[in-house]
């Protein structure tokens, strides 16, 4: 099975097993992680009722609160133009509301930012361990930085002792049957030290390895950014191919989904990489009808149209 189809199947299985949320292909400090699971925190429901969109981290970290309205240029720690842009994004998301003070716009939070996630768990998908690529180095970087609470390798391969010896001991190993959605735990993942300084591993040469200490405060900020991106993004591809051969379905064990399946190829496809006039089976048509947001809302606690805390669409153009 191709890695893309395997990854979609793993994501569907994870989503069905968690009371949190799953996101796919998220950038960390120096690499892309296949899947991230958000473990709900004590105020998870407050986050789902606030906004469906990711909240800009600079808005969360700013001096803007729910009390006195502040000038975003003064309250957001960045250059003035970027501060205004961040404020616009936060207003659009429903996290800020705006009011006029003389000729200038001031903003305040519509609600206090909740303590909504308790953990972040990373999953690296590698169906064929005989073609590992840079897997070992990627996993060692994840363990060294300890940005995630746990890291787990998911594979379709038979896992030998040699395989296990090449994978850091704290990394979990799961064998996954993508046809039936069944998992076999080969090794449990061990918790990583997310609240202490991590070591970012950079370029490597025969003579040296570049490393950079990442303080716990910086890791906390990176985790917040990851959680917000994951919340807004999810794991399903954004759209379906505009082709007569395209269909919206899920993997065999969860067929009631809206993933891009090609009847001509007989498999799931990546819409932006594999579909279009260059494909031999392409026949232009409207994409198959599917509401991806509705599917995500049905299968997770995520709310596509939450009540919010008083949304006001106010941008610089209004002043």
Q: Would you state the pLDDT for residue 312?
A: 42
Q: Of 146, 149, 152, 163, give the one whose Cα is nearest residue 123.
A: 152
Q: Which residue has the tokens 């990176």?
A: 222
**Rounded to whole angstroms, what are the CA distances from 67 to 17, 101, 113, 142, 165?**
40, 15, 13, 39, 55
Measured between its terminal Cα atoms, the distance across the chain in Å is 55
Joined together, the tokens standing for residue 141 give 């970087």
Read off the pLDDT of residues 4-13 as tens digits, 9 standing for 90 and up: 999 999 999 9
User: Residue 190 contacts by C-beta under 8 Å, 6 or more apart in sequence?
Assistant: 150, 169, 170, 172
Mean pLDDT of 267-276: 94
CA dihedral 306, 307, 313, 314 (to 10 degrees): -120
Measured distance CA(274)–CA(289) in Å, rounded = 20
Cα separation, 79 vs 245, whole angstroms: 48
pLDDT of residue 319: 39
Q: How far apart are CA 267 and CA 264, in angstroms?
A: 8
How does pLDDT run across 37-66, given as a tens digit for each residue?
Answer: 999 999 999 999 999 999 999 999 999 999
Could you tell me the pLDDT band of residue 133, with boundaries at 50, 70 and 90? confident
Q: Is the pLDDT of residue 311 over 80?
A: no
What is the edge-to-edge ordering of all strands in the sheet holding 246-249? 246-249, 259-262, 267-268
* 144 or 204, which is more confident: 144
What per-residue confidence (pLDDT) applies to 204?
76
> Is a pLDDT exceeding 50 seen at residue 229?
yes
**Max CA pair span of the chain:** 70
Query: What gap in Å lies between CA 221 and CA 224, rounded to an integer?
Result: 5
Residue-level pLDDT at 131: 84
Distance, CA of 63 to CA of 109 (rounded, Å): 10
**What pLDDT does residue 309 have?**
56
pLDDT of residue 188 exceeding 80? yes
Q: What is the mean pLDDT of residues 149-178?
A: 95
Cα–Cα distance measured from residue 18 to residue 37, given in angstroms and rounded to the nearest whole number? 8
Q: How confident is the model at residue 15 (pLDDT cuts 50, 70, 90)?
A: very high
- What three-state secondary structure class fits 56? coil
Give 159's pLDDT tier (boundaries 50, 70, 90).
very high
**Which of the four pLDDT bands, split at 50, 70 and 90, describes residue 291?**
very high
Which residues are registered as beta bridge partners of 103? none
DSSP lists the bridge partners of residue 312 as: none
Query: How do beta strands 150-155 and 96-101 pair?
Result: unpaired
Coil, strand or helix: which one is 191?
A: coil
Task: Pick 318 or 290 by higher pLDDT.
Answer: 290
Please give the pLDDT value at position 313.
Answer: 43
Neighbours of 204 (CB within 10 A): 11
Mean pLDDT, to the nearest integer, of 224-241? 96
pLDDT for residue 317 is more than 60: no
- What's the confidence (pLDDT) of residue 102? 83
Is the model's pLDDT at 175 over the cut of 80?
Answer: yes
Tell me which residue of 154, 185, 151 sits closest to 169, measured CA to CA: 151
Write down the pLDDT at residue 318.
45
Q: What's residue 294's pLDDT?
A: 96
Nearest to 154 by CA among 131, 120, 177: 177
Q: What rounded mean pLDDT belongs to the chain?
A: 93
Positive or negative torsion for Cα 126, 211, 203, 223: positive
| pLDDT at residue 315 greater than cutoff 50 | no
pLDDT over 80 (residue 316): no
Give the mean model confidence (pLDDT) for residues 248-260: 95
Average pLDDT over residues 218-230: 96
Residue with tokens 């232009």: 284
Half-sphere CA count of 213, side-chain side, radius 13 A: 5
């Amino acid at each position: 099975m191709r890695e893309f189809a395997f990854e979609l199947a793993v994501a569907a299985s994870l989503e069905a097993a968690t009371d949190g949320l799953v996101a796919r292909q998220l950038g960390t400090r120096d690499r892309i992680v296949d899947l991230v699971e958000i473990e709900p925190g004590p105020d998870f429901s407050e986050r789902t009722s606030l906004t469906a969109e990711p909240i800009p981290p600079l808005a969360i970290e700013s001096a803007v609160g729910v009390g006195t309205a502040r000038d975003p240029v003064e309250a957001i720690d960045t250059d003035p133009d970027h501060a205004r842009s961040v404020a616009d994004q936060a207003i659009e998301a429903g996290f800020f509301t705006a009011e006029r003070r003389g000729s200038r716009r001031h903003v305040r939070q519509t609600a206090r930012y909740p303590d909504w996630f308790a953990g972040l768990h990373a999953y690296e998908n590698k169906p064929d361990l005989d073609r590992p690529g840079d897997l070992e180095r990627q996993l060692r970087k994840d363990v060294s930085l300890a940005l995630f609470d746990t890291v787990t390798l998911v594979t379709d391969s038979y896992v030998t002792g040699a395989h296990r010896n090449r994978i850091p001991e704290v990394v979990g190993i799961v064998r996954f049957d993508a046809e039936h959605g069944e998992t076999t735990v080969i090794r449990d993942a061990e918790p990583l030290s997310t609240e202490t300084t991590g070591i970012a591993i950079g370029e490597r040469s025969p003579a040296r390895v570049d490393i950079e200490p990442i303080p716990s405060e910086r890791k906390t900020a990176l985790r917040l950014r990851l959680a917000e991106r994951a919340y807004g993004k999810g794991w399903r591809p954004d759209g379906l191919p505009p082709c007569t051969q395209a269909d919206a379905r899920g993997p065999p064990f969860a067929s009631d989904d809206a993933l891009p399946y090609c009847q001509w190829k007989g498999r799931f496809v990546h819409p932006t990489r594999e579909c279009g006039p260059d494909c031999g089976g392409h026949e232009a048509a409207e994409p198959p009808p599917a509401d991806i947001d509705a599917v995500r809302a049905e299968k997770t606690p995520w709310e596509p149209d939450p009540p919010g805390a008083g949304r006001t669409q106010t941008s610089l153009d209004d002043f």
